[in-house]
Amino acid sequence: MSQSWPALVLRASAVDGSEDLVSAVLTDFNPVAIQDLAERPLPPGGLWDPTYPPIPDPPPTPLHWSVCFSDPGERDRAGRAIALALPLLKIERVDLPDEDWAARSQQSLKAVRAGAFIIAPPWDLPPPAAHGVEATVIVIEPSMGFGTGHHATTRMCLRLLSALDVADATVLDLGTGSGVLSMAAALMGARRVTGVDVDQDAIDSAESSARLNTLPDSITFVVSDFRKAPPAPADIVLANLTGGMLTSSAADIAALVRPHGRLILSGFDHTEVGRVLASFASFTERQRLSEDNWIALELHRRG
C-alpha cells in the first residue's frame, strides 16, 4: 500500500549549529523519522572499510533534514515552532511518498560495517572473509524500513549490541524498522527476539529481509505500538527512536526491561542526552557512543 508522510524539509544555508536548535524544538513533538539528506563524501576504502572504527568524522555540512510526522497537524505545529526558533532556516512542507524513501535510500547503498556485523544490500554482498575481518553479514533489502546501516544511530546500536552477552537472553527491539537490530540479536544467539513497529510497511520489509538471511527461529516481528500494547519484558531492550519519544515514553520503556537488564537507546543528539538520561533514573549509564552528532547509550537497570 502506498502511503505518504507529512514531512518538513529543513535546509540551512551555512554550517551554523542549527541541528542543536532544531533537535531541541523537536523534543516537544513526536517525529516518526528524521533523515539526514546532506551529501557527504565516502570514507577512504568505501563504507565497509574494515579499518572502521575509526572513520574520521566527515567535514560538517549545513543542516539538510527531512522530518516525518504521523499527522499533518503535528507537522504544521512543528514547522511553526521551528520557524519561530530559526527564522533563517528554509522550511518546506511536503508529503513524502514511500517511493521517495525507497529511491533515496537505494541511491548510494553499499555494505556497511558496524560492530560484529556487515549490513549489506543484496547487490553488494561482501566476499566471504573480506579483508580477513571476521564479521557476520546481515542482508537488508532497502525499502521503507529505516535501518540499512547508513544511519549513525543504527551503526552505534549494532556496536553496543555486539559487545553484550546476548546468548540465551530475551531481546525486545522497539521500533524495529528494517529489522536489522533484531536480526543481529538473533544471530548472536538470543533465546527470543521480538521486533515491534507501529508501521506495517516496516514490518513487511523486516520480514522480507529476514527471508534473505539464515536466521534462527527465535525471531518474531509484530505490528504494534509498544506504548499501547506492551510486549513481555526482556533482558535486553533496544530502542532507536527519537529523543522526544524516549523521554515521553520512558516509563513504558523502563517497564519492559527486566531487573538488571540492559537498555540500548539512540535517536537523539548532544542537546537531548541529558533529558533522556534524566527520564531513565533507575538506570546506570554503562557506555556512550557518538557519531555525526548522534548519541547512543547503553544503560543498566539497577534492580
- Residues in 98-137 at the binding interface with ligand SAH, rule: CB under 6 A: none
The answer to whether 180 contacts ligand SAH (rule: CB under 6 A) is: yes
Residues that contact ligand SAH, how many (by CB under 6 A) = 24
Residue from 22, 140, 157, 185 binding ligand SAH (CB under 6 A)? 157
CA distances (Å), origin 283, targets 4, 288, 296, 300: 37, 14, 15, 5
**Does 142 interact with ligand SAH (rule: CB under 6 A)?**
no
Q: 267 — alpha (psi -120 to 50), left (phi > 0) or beta? A: left
* Segment 17 to 76, residues that bind ligand SAH, using CB under 6 A: 32
Question: Which of 121, 177, 244, 261 lies at the binding interface for ligand SAH (CB under 6 A)?
Answer: 177
Residue 260 Cα distances to 80, 125, 142, 160, angstroms: 42, 38, 35, 17
Q: State the Cα–Cα distance between residues 242 and 265, nearest whole angstrom.
A: 9
124 secondary structure, DSSP code: G
Q: What is the smallest separation between the CB atom of 218 and ligand SAH, expressed in angstroms?
A: 17
Cα–Cα dist 37/61, whole Å: 10
Contact between 181 and ligand SAH per CB under 6 A: yes
- SS3 percent helix, strand, coil of the chain, rounded to 5, is 30, 30, 40
Which window, 57-65, 85-93, 129-137, 193-201, contacts ligand SAH (CB under 6 A)?
193-201
Of 12 and 196, the one with the shorter C-beta distance to ligand SAH is: 196
User: Phi, psi at residue 136, to the nearest 5°?
Assistant: -95, 130
- Whose CA is closest to 69, among 199, 158, 189? 199
Which of 6, 150, 190, 199 contacts ligand SAH by CB under 6 A? 199
Tell me which residue has cell 526558533.
Answer: 85
Q: By CB under 6 A, tell whether 257 contacts ligand SAH.
A: no
Q: Is 147 in the site for ligand SAH (CB under 6 A)?
A: yes
Q: Which parts of 234-253 interact with ligand SAH (CB under 6 A)?
A: 240-241, 245
Binding footprint of ligand SAH on the chain (CB under 6 A): 32, 146-147, 153-154, 157, 173-177, 180-181, 196-199, 202, 225-227, 240-241, 245
